[in-house]
Structure 1
Amino acid sequence: MKVSLLFPPSWHPSQPYLSLPCLTAFLDQAGITEKRQRDLNIEMLDTILTRTYGLLVYERLVDKLKQLEKTREGEFGPGSDEHYAKVVEALDRFPHLIDEIEPAKASLRCEEFYDINRYRECLFLIDRWLEVVSSIYFPTRLTVVDNQLSYSIYSSRDIVKAVKDEEQNPYIELYRQYFLQSILDDQPDLVGISITATSQIIPGLTLSRLIKEANPEIHVTIGGSIFTRLVDNLRRCERLFQLTDDFIVFEGETALLELVNQLAGHKNFAKVPNLIYRHEGKVIVNQPFYSENLAQHPAPNYDGFPLNQYLAPKTVLPVQFSRGCYYKDCAFCALTLDHQNFRQKDPVKVVDELQYLSKKYDTPFFFFTDECLALSPARRLCKEITSRNFDIQWTAEFRFEKNLSRELLTQLRDAGCHKIVFGLETYNKRMMDFMQKGITQESVQRICVDCVDLGIAVHCYVIVGFPTETQEEALETMNFIVENTNLNSSYGFSCQPCLFDLEKEAPIMSDPGGYGVQRIMRPAAEDLSLGFFYEVKEGMTPEEAEKLYQYVYEKISEVVVELPFNYSMADGLLYIARHKKQHAAEFSSVS
């Protein structure tokens, strides 16, 4: 059995994603030797950001212009006056961008990355370049981290159309020209495609469709958190099985291994945990869903990932201490669905793995992807790191727990923690209680002060528009950020306001009336919807919340340095590490 694991666009280009390295390491441990993993997201971006590709784009733009001069109709949409104007604009920009795009990519991979003006200029150039490329496929819009097509990613009918649309879907041509043949040349029996973000749905399913069309004998399975949240939808959505053989939901290590074994043996797919597949005209969901024993899992394996192609001068590796959330009572949060229960590795084992990864991939930089680190194990982790004199630099997510003491924060800092990500959501006392955050204003204020004093950067997520929230309550949260100069002016601070979404698996959905939601709606065509429209009994309406969110976003943006800290946690970690190194004397004097 030969296995190929593929991570499709679009994802952030600064660092690899953790899913495939975990699966690869698990297959290694089980003795599956014939396998390959590829990050097609960074491979594709690296291809697009070249002069060679640009010259092909230029020819396509000239041909498209000639075509539109003869055939364009209407003011808006594909083949319209608007499309024609986009192509003209792209050709006008092209001569400048073609000479700048490769130097911009190179700058982000070297010391020029740390020149914030050059960093900003490079990201701007790449964005403009992708806009030029997108004009061929108008109205599709590609960005570094996303893609927007005219199709709804929440409609299976639209998705089936999108993955076949040669005019608007750029991934069809890109896969065929640069990647499909090399995937087929590996002669895999099984291809696994990881779809962990909505931005990967159309690119990932396009890839699956092309592989199946090229060789129907290849078994293709889709994994990742997106379809974990759509288990019930997949039961009623047979058309997606035109594009792939099956889906693995929730955690995938044991499921993937058993799928490999069944494909090599009796092909009894009923024995594959967490598998959703079609059998005799029916969609079968294998339950109960399986949870992994992390104590038996090895360190992730990043072999095969082009670590020198990411748009950063140093490698930042994602790692995991635990799965699930130890708190999991927040009323708005659907993330806890991805992992059914909270489990964690032994801190000694985690530090062993970190040292192994640091040496193997020559990096001290790590990003803990845990939903939030538990305090007692984090304390043991810090003691283990410092006792070994292990030089590690990292970021992780914690809760604003009252027990997150200054003493523990000091231990975190001394163990190399440069930044902590917090889910603040609200600074209003009533809303904290209503959201069941389990935190207090006093803890938030004290922990922020301690972090700034100790030189630990802070990130705060903020939610605007949770049901029953008033404008005054939302502005109290905004003012905590905007008026808190000590916090918002501290090096590395970032804050991301988000507009509340009523997500299908969030705890609030178990009692919407109790949270002030009186009517829930979903468009009939959106059979893959991850959320709902709704009406409320009191507080801001969704429309009022959206308007206030724009105001809050603008005000917070005035005091937050967007680049690099609000753009990428990995990029921000590298900037903070450089800053600390340059100011080592200052930080060493902080108690």
Structure 2
Amino acid sequence: MKVSLLFPPTWHPSQPYLSLPSLTGFLHQGGVSDVSQRDLGIELLDGLLTRSYGAEVYQRLVDKQRELERSQAGETGPGSREHYAKVTESLDRFAYLIDRIELAKDTLRSEGFYDLDAYRGSLFMIDKWLEVVSSVYFPTRLTVVDNQFSHYSIYSSKDLMKVIRDEAQNPYIGLFRERFVPSIVGDRPDLIGVSITATSQIIPGLTLCRLIKDAAPDLHVTIGGSIFTRLVDNIRRCPSLFDLADDIVVFEGETALLELVNQLAGKKDYSKVPNLIYRQNGKITVNQPFYSENVNQLPAPNYDGFPLGRYLSPEPVLPVQFSRGCYYKDCAFCALTLDHQNFRQKDPGRTIDELEWLKQRYGAQYFFFTDECFALSPTKRLCQQMIEKRLDVKWTCEMRFEKNLTRELLASMRDAGCLKIVFGLESFNQRVMDFMKKGIKQEWVRRIADDCVDLGIAVHCYIIVGFPTEKEEEALDTMNFIVENKKLHESFGFSCQPCLFDLEKEAPIMSDPAGYGIRRIMRPSAEDLSLGFFYEVQEGMTPEQAERLYQHVYERVSEVVCELPFNYSMADGLLYIAKAKEQAGQAPQPIGT
């Protein structure tokens, strides 16, 4: 059996994503050796940032300008005066950008990455280039990490079925048809798996599935990833998705994919495949109960075939996992726990073996633990073993501001190579913290943040504005904790991401909305694939007031946070912190210290 695994655009260009390497490692372990995996996101970006692609873009811009000169429909939107102005502006900027675009890409892959001005200038250049590329498809806008299709909702199956066929506004149709579909189909795999894990991948991912099915209707296409895990009930009422793919794997995919391969090679009894949603004889079936993996039987992620040299960073930063799920499930706003159903902890020794293997096989020194939350006791054992084995790796992870997160454990993490810890602070107001069921206290936050800074571990804080019943002054408590805490926000590597509260499908708050001060929940009837809801509150800020305050908080936090690289990319930030520590270690000590 031949399996082809595909990761569509758009994801962050600094590092690979963990889903395909995890599946590839598991399939190999299960005896399926003919597995290819491709990160189409970085392949595509690499191809777009070239002079040769620029020549194609130039001709398209010229043709579009001529077309729009003859007929302009209205002030704004596709084919409008605004579209004509965008194309004309792109042609004006074209010569300047095409001369610099390959240099910008090369800079980010070299030591020039560590020159902050060169880094900032390169990212700016790439963004402006993608704006030029997008202008043919106006009002669609491609960026390095996202795409905006303003005329279509990614939460409406009706819109999705239109946009994946809209040649005028969907640049991925032509790009995929020319660059990817011939090689994907020509390889004649028995199974194609497409991983859609971020909202930015929904339109590109479904466009890819549609083009593959058009080119080779007999190829078996499976969609996986966390987006559809949160939409299990919706998928039952959305038969059009099964015109693009044969089936959809929800929740964890390793055992499901291996069993699907076995069934395709044998009796084709899809009822035996865990976590599978499929259509048979016009009826959509969901295989339950949903299966969770034994994490101690999972192999290391296998990055073979991934173009590690094409990511826009001078060194690979590889994602790994120490656990699945979250040991603390009570946060009222969080739907992340759904992805992995329950918490499972990997044996620290197995994780050490994985890191050693990845270091040896790929020359990797930097690792990004994607766990929802590191648990304290296993972390202590992991760090002890890292230190004993002199593993010499640099890494980042996510933790909670736990009462028992001691300075001693933090020092051990630092000695084991931890350069940064990501914390979900959400709020610094104690009433709001308690109402969110965060299970943390202000004094623990202050102490742990101070300990991290003292020990030289960088800190990231996520904060939320507009949790139901939150008042403006309570949200400002959180903002002020960041902007008035000079020790924290002036520490090297600090980052902070304010988020506007979103009432998410499957979050615990949805089981008792009235108990959280939510008076009414609404969803546009057209949005049958919605991941969130509109709502009205009984007290505190309205969603509109929260949005206005969020803009203020975002601006104030941005004044004290170094956006590039630390607020832009955790992986890039990790490399910058490592470089700064290395240079500090090499610098001669002043006399008298």
What TM-score comes out, normalization by structure 2 length?
Answer: 0.98
**What pairs with 1:58-137 in structure 2 (closer than 5 Å)?**
58-137=58-137
CA contact (8 A) 1:229 1:337 kept: yes
**How many Å apart are 1:243 and its aligned residue?**
1.1
Q: Which amino acid is the alignment partner of residue 113 of structure 2?
A: F
1:8 alignment counterpart: 8
How far apart in 2 are the matches of 1:206 and 1:395?
Answer: 34
Q: 1:362 to 1:587 in 2, by over 3 A?
A: farther
Q: Which amino acid is the alignment partner of residue 267 of structure 1?
A: K
Task: Say yes or no: does 1:454 pair with 2:451.
Answer: no
Greater than 6 Å deviation, 4+ residue runs: 585-589
Q: Which amino acid is the alignment partner of residue 413 of structure 2?
A: L
**How many Å apart are 1:352 and its aligned residue?**
0.8
2:412 alignment counterpart: 411
How far apart in 2 are the matches of 1:584 and 1:379?
Answer: 26
For structure 2, list consecutive stretches of 5 or more residues without a partner in the other structure.
none
1:222 alignment counterpart: 223
The secondary structure found in structure 1 opposite 2:521 is: strand
Task: Say yes or no: does 1:383 pair with 2:377.
Answer: no
For structure 1, list consecutive stretches of 5 or more residues without a partner in the other structure.
none
**What pairs with 1:216-365 in structure 2 (closer than 5 Å)?**
216-365=217-366
2:209 alignment counterpart: 208
**How many Å apart are 1:186 and its aligned residue?**
1.3
**How many Å apart are 1:68 and its aligned residue?**
0.6
CA contact (8 A) 1:189 1:217 kept: no
How far apart in 1 are the matches of 2:178 and 2:269?
Answer: 36
**How many Å apart are 1:33 and its aligned residue?**
1.2
2:504 alignment counterpart: 503
**How many Å apart are 1:179 and its aligned residue?**
1.0
How far apart in 1 are the matches of 2:124 and 2:206?
Answer: 29
How far apart in 2 are the matches of 1:344 and 1:4?
Answer: 30
2:490 alignment counterpart: 489
Deviations 1:163-187 (A, max 9, x none): 1111111111001111111111211
How far apart in 2 are the matches of 1:426 and 1:544?
Answer: 17
CA RMSD of aligned residues (A): 1.1
How far apart in 1 are the matches of 2:40 and 2:252?
Answer: 22
The secondary structure found in structure 2 opposite 1:467 is: coil
The secondary structure found in structure 1 opposite 2:68 is: helix
CA contact (8 A) 1:193 1:222 kept: yes
How far apart in 2 are the matches of 1:266 and 1:374?
Answer: 43
CA contact (8 A) 1:246 1:277 kept: yes
Q: Which amino acid is the alignment partner of residue 207 of structure 2?
A: T
How far apart in 2 are the matches of 1:494 and 1:309?
Answer: 26
Q: Which amino acid is the alignment partner of residue 9 of structure 1?
A: P
Q: Which amino acid is the alignment partner of residue 258 of structure 1?
A: E
The secondary structure found in structure 2 opposite 1:288 is: coil
How far apart in 1 are the matches of 2:581 and 2:588?
Answer: 7
Deviations 1:51-70 (A, max 9, x none): 00001000000000011111
The secondary structure found in structure 2 opposite 1:283 is: strand
The secondary structure found in structure 1 opposite 2:212 is: helix
Deviations 1:241-260 (A, max 9, x none): 11111100000000000110
**How many Å apart are 1:437 and its aligned residue?**
0.2
**How many Å apart are 1:588 and its aligned residue?**
11
The secondary structure found in structure 1 opposite 2:33 is: coil
The secondary structure found in structure 2 opposite 1:14 is: coil
The secondary structure found in structure 2 opposite 1:357 is: helix
2:428 alignment counterpart: 427
What TM-score comes out, normalization by structure 1 length?
Answer: 0.99
CA contact (8 A) 1:580 1:587 kept: no
2:142 alignment counterpart: 142
How far apart in 1 are the matches of 2:355 and 2:492?
Answer: 26
How far apart in 2 are the matches of 1:585 and 1:183?
Answer: 48
The secondary structure found in structure 2 opposite 1:424 is: strand
1:35 alignment counterpart: 35
Deviations 1:502-539 (A, max 9, x none): 00110000000000001000000000000000000000
Q: Which amino acid is the alignment partner of residue 136 of structure 2?
A: I
How far apart in 1 are the matches of 2:164 and 2:361?
Answer: 38
**What pairs with 1:365-404 in structure 2 (closer than 5 Å)?**
365-404=366-405
The secondary structure found in structure 2 opposite 1:308 is: helix
Q: Which amino acid is the alignment partner of residue 91 of structure 2?
A: L
Aligned length: 589
How far apart in 2 are the matches of 1:245 and 1:477?
Answer: 47
How far apart in 2 are the matches of 1:205 and 1:246?
Answer: 13
**How many Å apart are 1:587 and its aligned residue?**
13
Task: Say yes or no: does 1:547 pair with 2:548.
Answer: yes
**How many Å apart are 1:585 and its aligned residue?**
6.9
How far apart in 2 are the matches of 1:155 and 1:522?
Answer: 11
